[in-house]
Amino acid sequence: MEAILQGKVAIVTGGSLGIGRAIALDLAANGADVALNYRKHDAEAKEIVAEIEKMGRRGLAVQADVASFADAQRMVDTVVQTLGHFDILVNNAGVNRDGVIWKMTEEQWDEVIAINLKGYFNYIRAVAPLFKEQGSGRIVNITSINGLRGKFGQSNYVATKAGIIGLTKSVARDLGKFQVTVNAVAPGLIETDMVKQAPQNVRDMALAEILLGHLGRTEDVAYVVTFLCSDKARHITGQVIQVDGGQYL
């Protein structure tokens, strides 16, 4: 198989679990050295690094809170110092603290905004000067189809996912002349461990929306991210690509 990311170095935020894990492994399978951050899941992060190294790539796990501006800069500096250079940023880390708007607390709102939206800014701000100076780079932001359509009981989460779409388009304009592409991937319902534990009626409602009749896999998202990080996508920027089996059409 052609290693379309041979020699590239990537950061994947939230890379120890779920979609982030699949992205980190697929980037490595396609030739990239991969660093991932984690906040709590130390064992899982080290397991991913071991899997990356089995592929003959370099892996690195850095404990860093995506909501911290200083942690983001520290991680980028660590990656450059340890792996030599830096080419790809995949912003993936996120949380949800659901609740109807009349019951949502300030803490629920602030935590989701700090991680899901400010966290993406923190890493983009840390890498932008480097990508600008070297005249190349790839940024892929993981959003959600619910950032396009809204979702009952998720006003905080949806606000961040819609914000990520606007952030993607604006940063694509800022960095385009430096040959840096910035795109977003919007998954529908993906069969992560969390979704597997969801009540059957919730899964059935989602399945009824999906034209292809099955939930997505984490790998389905990872394949699109890898493509966008490669030179095969060099003329694509400012786009939002849905990976949802037709769930939102």
Catalytic residues: 157
What is d(CA 233, CA 8) in angstroms, rounded to the nearest whole number? 15
User: Rounded distance, CA 124 to CA 161, Å?
Assistant: 16
User: What is the rounded CA–CA span in Å between residue 246 and residue 249?
Assistant: 6
By the 8 A CB rule, do 36 and 60 touch? yes
Tokens representing 71 are 């942690």
Strands across the sheet containing 240-243: 59-63, 33-38, 9-12, 88-91, 137-142, 180-187, 240-243
Which class for 109: exposed (0-12), middle (13-18), buried (19 or more C-beta within 10 A)? middle
Residues 62 and 74: their CA atoms lie apart, in Å, by 9
Cβ atoms of 12 and 59 within 8 Å: the answer is no
